[in-house]
Amino acid sequence: MDGVGEDSELLAAPATRALLADRRFAALWLNQALGQTAQYALLFTLLLVVLDKTGSTVQTTLLVLSFILPSLLLGMPVAVLLDRWRKESVLLVTNLVRVVTCLLLLFFHSEVWIICGVNLVFAAASQFFNPAVVALIPALVPKSRLINANTLYNFTLMSAQFAGIVFLTPLVLKSADENGMFILCAASFAVAAGLTFFLRPGDQAHREARWEGPMFGGIPEDFRASWRALRGDLASVTAMVQLTLSSALVLLFAVLIPRYMQDTLAVPADNAAFVFAPTGVGAIMGLRLLSWFAQSVGKERVVTVGLAGIGLCLLALALVEPLAVLLEHVGVDPEGVGGRGLLVTLTMFFAFPLGLSYALINAPAQTVLHERAPPEMRGRFFTTQVVSANFFSLLPLLLVGAITDLLGISHVLIFIALVVAGAGGLNLLVARRSEELAASDALARKTSAQARDGVVPPVDVDTKERAKLE
């Protein structure tokens, strides 16, 4: 995206309906929607099952760790193999593996260690699934539609989280218990596996280089090559950091929200889906407004706005108790809206902009990686992002329980808010630096073209004076 014309073309790209008119992309979208909705519903169900069996936050943390450990152990080979295998075949196999894990959970979920063991296999399959979906998008979509395709991907991801956790899990658990959920998820993954047969690579994918060497040979060397390519591009590094931070925040929230429900709101943890439902609504709204945000502040600064919003919302959630006391002093009804209590009402109020702000991070950053990653390295780039998020989340996940016990949930949220705000400030500096470099390159190209045409470019007096001072 070097010019204004290209920026305008991206922002004025065809609507979602045009994307879904392509049968291959529609099949990929349905595959993602079914797979991710079932994935989040299953993981939330397992969290509730483990919490019900043990009543221990430590045990639920172990369950979350069992989901992220495979990415740390398998990250490098998965990243390389994704670029060597047909991604349609990867989606087929991973969905079938996840069908088997659901059936195992159906018959063997009486012990926590069995649940964690099966979850390890499920997580290993999911380690291939999500990067394969993301890496397939630019093979099926022209560059002019990438921002729309990535917005739709993230819209579907947020909707899958919302539908799986807020609607599907409570509905199924109340009507058919966890066994019904395991059967439903197995059926969803089976349908998703069938949809992969409708995925036929487009002409762009056919032009991509095919791997002809040993399938498992040279994996470390290929992984290092992708790291060198990534490190050499400032825009790609920035996008990778943004996506990593976004994913790490989701993992931390998964552990902290049950504790926040108990310690701050004094509400049972299984009501978290209802209390934080506005987060999903806000995320969906944010993705709908993404193009407007990009036109208003520029694509490079949208992520900064999102990070600033997350920081402010986390700070507000950390201070929800003193805010409730203050509002009561000025005459606000302590029963809140609908008699749910002022604390719950304030939390739901701040959850909406939290989700909206979060939605502004992923799609722009993901589009940058799609545009700048070499086609033969896309699998490595996006798997590296997932591995990085899980790696940098590992230590906080291990320590967050003990730190929360020591300092309290409010202090932990304030600390995370400061980290996110700092990341927003750094992102703003990087955006300004990128704009300066782009302007400098544009001026150099214009001067070079004028020199070839024999035209002497005008020099502004102020510019000359500044050059002397420098």
pLDDT digits (tens, 9 = 90+) for 40-97: 889 888 888 887 777 666 677 777 777 777 766 766 666 666 666 777 888 888 899 9
Long-range CB contacts (< 8 A, 24+ apart) of 72-78? Answer: 72/387, 72/390, 72/391, 72/394, 74/124, 74/127, 75/127, 75/383, 75/384, 75/386, 75/387, 75/390, 75/391, 76/219, 76/220, 76/223, 76/387, 77/216, 77/219, 78/127, 78/128, 78/131, 78/383
Local confidence band at 216 (pLDDT 50, 70, 90 cut-offs):
very low
User: Percentage of residues in the chain with pLDDT exceeding 90?
Assistant: 9
| Model pLDDT for residues 127-171, shown as the tens digit of each residue | 778 778 877 887 787 776 777 777 788 778 777 877 887 778 878
Biggest distance spanned by C-alpha atoms of the chain = 81
Contact, 56 vs 269, CB < 8 A? Answer: no
Nearest 5 degrees, angle CA 352-CA 26-CA 367? 55
Task: Please state the rounded mean pLDDT for residues 377-405.
Answer: 69
pLDDT at 437 over 50: yes
- Does the domain at residues 222-450 carry the CATH identifier 1.20.1250.20? yes
What confidence tier does 379 reach under pLDDT thresholds 50, 70, 90? low
Instruction: Quickly state the pLDDT bin for 100 (edges 50, 70, 90).
Output: very high
Q: Assess whether pLDDT exceeds 50 at residue 9.
A: no
Whether the pLDDT of residue 312 is over 90: the answer is yes
Count of CB atoms situated within 10 Å of the CB of 463: 9
Residues 222-231 have a mean pLDDT of 64
CA 447 – CA 466 distance, rounded (Å): 18
- Encoded amino acid at 96, one letter: L
The amino acid present at 181, given as its one-letter code, is: M
Does residue 190 carry a pLDDT above 90?
A: yes
Q: Mean pLDDT throughout 353-359?
A: 87
Q: 352-388 burial, b if ≥16 CB within 10 A, otherwise e?
A: bbbbbbbbbbbbbbbbbbbbebeebbbbbbbbbbbbb
For the whole model, what pTM was predicted?
Answer: 0.65
pLDDT value at position 353? 92
Contact (Cβ atoms closer than 8 angstroms) between residue 142 and residue 93: no
More confident residue, 277 or 12: 277
CATH superfamily of 20-201: MFS general substrate transporter like domains (1.20.1250.20)
Looking at residue 218, its pLDDT comes to 52
Mean pLDDT of 432-449: 66
Q: Environment class of residue 170 by beta-carbon count within 10 Å: exposed (0-12), middle (13-18) or buried (19+)? A: middle
Question: Where does the pLDDT of residue 449 fall: very low under 50, low under 70, confident under 90, or very high at 90 and above?
Answer: low
pLDDT the model gives residue 434: 66
Q: Residue 468 pLDDT more than 50?
A: no
Enumerate the CATH 1.20.1250.20 domain ranges in the chain, comma separated. 20-201, 222-450
pLDDT (average), residues 303-327 = 89
Angle of CA points 92, 107, 58, to nearest 5°: 90
**Between residues 229 and 149, which one has the greater pLDDT?**
149
With b meaning 16 or more CB within 10 Å and e meaning fewer, what string describes 225-256?
Answer: bbeebbeeeebbebbbbbbbbbbbbebbbbbb
Specify the pLDDT at position 270: 65
For the chain, what's the residue count?
Answer: 470
Report which of residues 361 and 189 the model is more confident about: 189
Contacts by residues 21-27 (CB-CB < 8 Å, ≥ 24 positions apart): 22/140, 22/141, 23/198, 24/140, 24/198, 24/199, 24/200, 24/201, 24/202, 25/140, 25/141, 25/149, 27/195, 27/196, 27/198, 27/199
Q: Report yes or no: 380 and 76 within 8 Å, Cβ to Cβ.
A: no
Average pLDDT over residues 422-428: 82
Q: How far is it, in rounded angstroms, from Cα 228 to Cα 221?
A: 11
Residue 341 has pLDDT above 60, yes or no: yes
Least confident window among 22-36, 247-261, 297-311, 374-388: 374-388
pLDDT score for 359: 81
Distances (CA, A) of 447 to 396, 441, 454: 51, 10, 10
The yes-or-no verdict on residue 304 having pLDDT over 80 is yes
Q: Tell me: the pLDDT tens digits for 397-423? A: 667 767 777 888 888 889 989 988 888
Q: What is the pLDDT of residue 314?
A: 92
Mean pLDDT of the chain: 75
Dihedral over Cα of 237, 232, 378, 5: its sign: positive
Handedness of CA 362, 150, 434, 289 (dihedral sign): negative
Q: How confident is the model at residue 378 (pLDDT cuts 50, 70, 90)?
A: low
**How much is the pLDDT for 280?**
79
Q: Which residues contact 257 (CB under 8 A, 6 or more apart)?
A: 269, 272, 276
CB 164 within 8 A of CB 41: yes
Please, which residues have CB within 8 angstroms of residue 196's CB and are 6 or more apart in sequence? 27, 31, 88, 89, 91, 92, 95
